[in-house]
Amino acid sequence: MQSLPGLLTRNCFYMFFVNNKKLSYLRVRKFNITLKNIFCNIILFCLFTGHAGYLRAQAGDTLKTVTDSIINLKYFPRTDKILRTAVPVAMIAFGVLSLESGALKILDYSTRNELLEDNLMWGSRWDNYLQFSPAALAFGMKLGGVKSRHSLKDMAVLYALSTALETSVVYTAKRLTGRERPDGSNRSSFPSGHTATAFVAAEFLYQEYRDRSVWISIGGYFIASLVGTSRVYNNKHWVSDVVTGAGIGVLSARLVYRAYPALQNIIFGKSKKHQAFLFPYHENGAWGLNFSCSLSLLE
């Protein structure tokens, strides 16, 4: 029995050597890698791209001085901020290329086929609820008195805008691409909406509590990684769908946080009063979040 990380490692070799006449089908030793490796790899990947500034500050003044002097070199301005945007963009680009690239399709199909062969497919539905848990944790901590970057009202607006942006991008991409799911149930596979929602929530949690503890961010991304992995194991998405969904989720939240100060001044103005509410709902067997706000745009 082989885990998803082992399959991905092995199938990457197939992807590069399958067209070689001398190596018709390279067989490599199956790595005995447990499921926890994929979670650790994704978490470390997100930490590297998104939390460099926070980790520098925690390391102490000496390390911060040295690293900042490197970051601020003439040819490398704001390297950490560039990486935070460049990596999710690269993840999205990977997924787009997988729609047409034969080599990347081999990776998708061979991974899925071997999961079926080794009977590693699941049939659980907990990812339908777990995708919202990082955001629920963020609001729960706020209500519990843990200090965050923004007020509860602004947190509700930020999360709603991030989710709205992510949902619109995912919905549009699904309609335009019409990619069939691995299980053949419909043609709404690309990208993974569950994964995008989970990573929006994880990035939202990180943005609000990044100055509190790095373990909060690790927990959020760990949960999002669980959701993404489950979509592959549930035979609902290809690997490239999940990678793209993660990129869309992270990038959507980061763009909203960057634009929010300017958006506040444009919509609300400094002296305007506004109210926002975020609450869960359950309808026709589906769970979700409702966002409601009242804007005072006139004097």
% of the chain surpassing 70 pLDDT: 62
185 found inside a domain: yes
213 found inside a domain: yes
% of the chain surpassing 90 pLDDT: 48
In angstroms, how far is the first alpha carbon of the chain from the final one? 67
**Residue 264, pLDDT score:** 81
In DSSP terms, which residues pair with 277 in a beta bridge? 292
Q: What is the mean pLDDT of residues 10-28?
A: 42
Q: For residue 45, what are its two tokens?
A: 């990947």
237 found inside a domain: yes
Q: What is the mean pLDDT of residues 228-232?
A: 93
| 295 three-class SS | strand
Q: Which amino acid is it at 131?
A: Q
What's the domain range around 175? 40-270
* pLDDT tens sequence across 177-188: 999 999 999 999
Say if residue 297's pLDDT is above 80: no
Count the domains in the chain.
1
142 found inside a domain: yes
DSSP string, 265-294: IIII-TT--EEEEEEEEEETTEEEEEEEEE
25 found inside a domain: no
Full-model pTM: 0.72
Q: Taken in order 243, 246, 251, 252, is the CA torsion positive or negative?
A: positive
227 found inside a domain: yes
d(CA 48, CA 45): 5
**Residue 190, pLDDT score:** 97
Contact 242, 231 (CB under 8 A): yes
For 54, 113, 199, 292, the CA distances from 117, given in Å and listed in that order, are: 43, 6, 29, 47
Phi/psi of residue 132, nearest 5 degrees: -95, -10
Q: Which residues of 52-81 are buried (b: 16+ CB within 10 A; e: fewer)?
A: bbbbbeeeeeeebeebeeebeeeeeeebbe
9 found inside a domain: no
d(CA 127, CA 196): 12
**Residue 44, pLDDT score:** 43
Q: What is the mean pLDDT of residues 17-24?
A: 39
* pLDDT tens sequence across 41-75: 444 444 444 444 444 444 444 444 444 444 444 44
**Residue 246, pLDDT score:** 96
Contact 248, 168 (CB under 8 A): no
The domain that holds 86 is classified in CATH as: 1.20.144
Identify the residue with better confidence: 163 or 272: 163
Apex CA 28: angle with CA 25 and CA 34, to 5°?
130
The beta strands (E) that lie in 81-160 are given as: none
pLDDT band at 36 (very low <50, low <70, confident <90, very high): very low
- Residues in the chain, total: 299
145 found inside a domain: yes
